[in-house]
Amino acid sequence: MKTYLLITMFGAMMAGFSDNAAQAADAKPIRTLIVGGGTHHDFEKWFNQADTATLKATGRAEVNYTENIHSILPAIGQLDVLYLSNNKPMTNAAVRKAIFDFADKGHGLLLVHPAVWYNWNDWPEYNRTFVSGGSRGHDRYGEFEVTVDNAEHPIMAGVPKTFRITDELYYAQKDAQGPPIQVLATGRNLTNGKTYPVVWITQHPKARIVCITLGHDGKAHEHPAFKTLLQNSLKWAAEK
């Protein structure tokens, strides 16, 4: 009887320890750097001000923003998640290597809207490895319908099964030589019915990578479903 009580007490103690450890992990801040800058978007207003506020609203995100590509180098070693939304040139070889090293160490990448485009013809490894494809075209800015394909995934928690959004429907295509992807949501043109992935996970061997094609302007960044996607994606990408 005494042995049974001791085992029971030890089990309860260990369960409590596990719960406390989980709570401590949940309470740990998610150190995030948003990298913006380039053309065709108001990066300061939407990717900095709006998305910073959205991510900080979780109570866990520590967010900084930059449009200076070179400033990635001194910051990346302290990050949990690197959020790329830029389409400006990234020719610094050290920065490119640092991003690949960051992924290989098992950290999180959140690639949003401009960052899933084929921006850098001299850096094909980026699209192949991290996006596993990308987009070279999109529908005219307008309304389309988004459907959640995997409602059980944590990134889709609280996201409506279907919703409409005014944005650019990217013609995202899978790279046949890239790693597998898991599509979580698709967008459908309301006129011709064509569909394309709008949210997916790139199955990198070590990193957690989320790709989101949505996000041209305020119609997306202020949309409740987009905000939920962004918050869920950050939390998921920060996990090991």
The enclosing domain of 50 has a CATH number of 3.40.50.880
pLDDT of residue 27: 74
Position 9 in a domain = no
The proportion of the chain whose per-residue pLDDT surpasses 70, expressed as a percent, equals 89
Other C-beta atoms lying within 10 Å of the C-beta of residue 15 = 10
* Average predicted confidence (pLDDT) for the chain: 91
Position 12 in a domain = no
Position 42 in a domain = yes
205 and 136 Cβ atoms separated by less than 8 Å: no
Q: Report how many domains make up the chain.
A: 1
pLDDT tens digit sequence for 81-136 = 999 999 999 999 999 999 999 999 999 999 999 999 999 999 999 999 999 999 99
Residue range(s) defining the domain that contains residue 217: 30-238
Position 92 in a domain = yes
Other C-beta atoms lying within 10 Å of the C-beta of residue 53 = 12
Q: Say what the pTM is.
A: 0.89
State how beta strands 61-66 and 30-35 pair: parallel
State how beta strands 181-188 and 142-148 pair: antiparallel
